[in-house]
Amino acid sequence: MVGKIHSFETFGTVDGPGIRFVIFMQGCCLKCKYCHNRDTWSVHSGKMITVEELVKEIIKYKSYMDSSGGGVTVSGGEPLLQTDFICELFKELKKHNIHTAIDTAGSIPVSYEIKELLKYTDLVLLDIKHIDNEKCINLTSAPNKNTLEFAQYLSNLNVPVWIRQVLIPGYTDDKFDLKRLKDFIDSLKNVEKIELLPYHDLGKFKWAEFQDEYALEGVKSPTQAEIEAAKAILGIDL
C-alpha cells in the first residue's frame, strides 16, 4: 500500500503523549486562514511511500517511544483523506505494540474506512476549528458539521480524544463561543484533555511561496492574559 506524505518528524513532542514519530500526510480539504502547513494542501505534490518503508523507518525510534510513553502520530494536511493507507500502517504498528494517534480536523463524513481505521487508533487529536458554524466557514472555508458529528461518534465509541483549538485573537477568542465549545466538550464522554494552541504566524512565509495572500496579516499572537482567560473558560489548568 502506498501513501503520499509531505514529511515526517522523528522526535515530536507536541502531538500526543511522549516522544512521537509524526507523519505529515500530503493533501488537505480545508483552507484555514492561519494554516502553518500551507505546503501540505495540494494532493498533487508530496512523496510516495509504502507502509513497509515507513514502518522500517519508524522502528528505528521505537526505544525512544517506549521509554517516553510515546508512539506514532499521523497529522497533515488532513490524514483522513488517506484512510486506507493509515489503516494499513496502524495495523502494522499494532503488531509492534506501538501507540497510534491521528491528528485531524474530522472534516470528512464518517465512512466505513474511517470506522475501520478507528479499530487500530489509540488516540484522536481532534481539532475543532470553531464551534460556531458561520465563523468556522469564514475561518476554514468549510462548515463544522462533520467535525462535531465525528466528535459525537468518537464519544459513542469511547475512543480517547484530545480536543484542540487554535486561539486566534478576533477569531476564536470570543467568550461566548469558548463557553459553547466547553459545553459541547462536556457533553462528550471520552475527552482526556483539552489543548489550546496559541496562534502564531511562523508559517506565513509558505503562503508567499504559493503567491497566496495571508488573510491574517497583522493579527497578533494572543497575550498571556488572553490565553489564561480562554483557558479558564475551557477549564484548562493554568
Q: What are the residues binding ligand SF4 (CB under 6 A)?
A: 28, 30-32, 35, 37, 40, 76-78, 105
Q: Which one, 98 or 151, has the nearer CB to ligand SF4?
A: 151
Residue whose entry in the numeric block shows the C-alpha cell 457533553: 187
Please tell me the number of Cα atoms within 13 Å of 121 on its side-chain side. Answer: 30
- Least Å distance, CB 108 to ligand SF4, is 11
Label the pairing between strands 47-50 and 2-12. Answer: antiparallel
Q: Which one, 76 or 222, has the nearer CB to ligand SF4?
A: 76
Q: Which one, 40 or 121, has the nearer CB to ligand SF4?
A: 40
Chain centroid, CA 126 distance in Å: 6
Residue whose entry in the numeric block shows the C-alpha cell 496579516: 217
Q: Which residues of 14-23 are buried (b: 16+ CB within 10 A; e: fewer)?
A: ebbbebbbbb
Q: Which one, 30 or 117, has the nearer CB to ligand SF4?
A: 30
- Least Å distance, CB 78 to ligand SF4, is 6
- Least Å distance, CB 138 to ligand SF4, is 13
Label the pairing between strands 191-198 and 161-167. Answer: parallel
Q: Which one, 70 or 77, has the nearer CB to ligand SF4?
A: 77
- Least Å distance, CB 142 to ligand SF4, is 9
From residue 26, alpha-carbon distances to 80, 142, 166 in Å are: 11, 19, 21
- Least Å distance, CB 60 to ligand SF4, is 26
- How would you class 99 by CB atoms within 10 Å of its CB: exposed for 0-12, middle for 13-18, buried for 19 or more? buried
Q: Which one, 65 or 126, has the nearer CB to ligand SF4?
A: 126
- Least Å distance, CB 35 to ligand SF4, is 3
From residue 42, alpha-carbon distances to 45, 51, 142, 147, 161 in Å are: 6, 21, 17, 21, 27
